[in-house]
Amino acid sequence: MEKNAILPTGSKPIDTLLEGGLHAGEITSIFGEAATGKTTIAYQCLINIAKAGFTTVYVDTEHKFNTRRISQIDDRIDLSDHLIVLQPETFTQQVQHMKNLKQIADERPFMLLLIDTISHLYRLELDSIPKNIALKRLFEQHIARVNGETRRLSLFTLITSQVRSYGGKTSPIGEDCIYAYSKRVLELNKGTINTKRYITLRKGISNLIDESLPYTITEEGICSITEVKLYSKT
């Protein structure tokens, strides 16, 4: 894959903030509370890369991979030859999968790496031993390895992260590592009864930092509000 290649996510507001989509050789991170659409955008990406004839490695740490939802987004796509799903049971297994990426690539070349969510198994172990310094160090090494393999194999890489809240601010679990190794970081805000959902660019092209765009989640995936209005007229 060309170094400057871009993979559209299929979501207009997200692609606008990401300057076209995921970028080859770089990590893009998306964080947000539950039900904000993190997995939906991951599905949209794997559908798009399959349409281009390439394969995805999907690391499903929550064991919630949903083929029905993928078919809902696009029922014309056949993923049987374009998808490798890995479902680690522990954070140690998750780390090992990343150590095996080169072997996986040699046996079955792939272009898209999705880790959904990168923090789930880590958080479960950290909750049991809150001051586990070794575990925190391992998490940093894990993301550093993901970054290294992304660059070496020129992958499109998207990682999603759960969040923690303090002082009225929401941030991704493993915030320092996420920001250190991700080229672009997006926050999904699900809003309230009286407010819209917003996607906000937290790291990326300088003139768009903290820029927010409204979005909604439909059967077709994450869309802009204007797209939904267009759908309603047809």
How far is 137 from 162, CA to CA, in rounded Å? Answer: 18
The pLDDT tens digits of the residues spanning 96-155 come to 999 999 999 999 999 999 999 999 999 999 888 767 889 999 999 999 999 999 999 999
Find the mean pLDDT for residues 1-14. Answer: 86
Domain residues of the chain, as ranges?
6-233
Q: How confident is the model at residue 231 (pLDDT cuts 50, 70, 90)?
A: very low
- Torsions phi, psi for 72 (to 5 deg): -65, -40
Residue 230 confidence (pLDDT): 42
Calculate helix-pair angle for 91-99, 133-153, nearest 10 degrees. 30
The encoded tokens of residue 50 equal 């399959």
**Confidence (pTM):** 0.92
Six token digits for residue 1: 């894959």
Q: Which of 149, 198, 203, 196 is nearest to 172 (CA)?
A: 203
Q: What is the pLDDT of residues 184-226, one digit of tens each?
A: 999 999 877 667 899 999 999 878 899 999 999 999 999 987 7
**pLDDT score for 224:** 85
Q: How confident is the model at residue 229 (pLDDT cuts 50, 70, 90)?
A: very low
Q: Which CATH number fits domain 6-233: 1.20.1250.20, 3.40.50.300, 3.30.70.940, 2.60.120.310?
A: 3.40.50.300
Cα separation, 221 vs 212, whole angstroms? 18
Tens of pLDDT, residue by residue over 27-52, are 999 999 999 999 999 999 999 999 99
pLDDT mean over 58-65: 97
Q: Pairing state of beta strands 197-203 and 212-218?
A: antiparallel
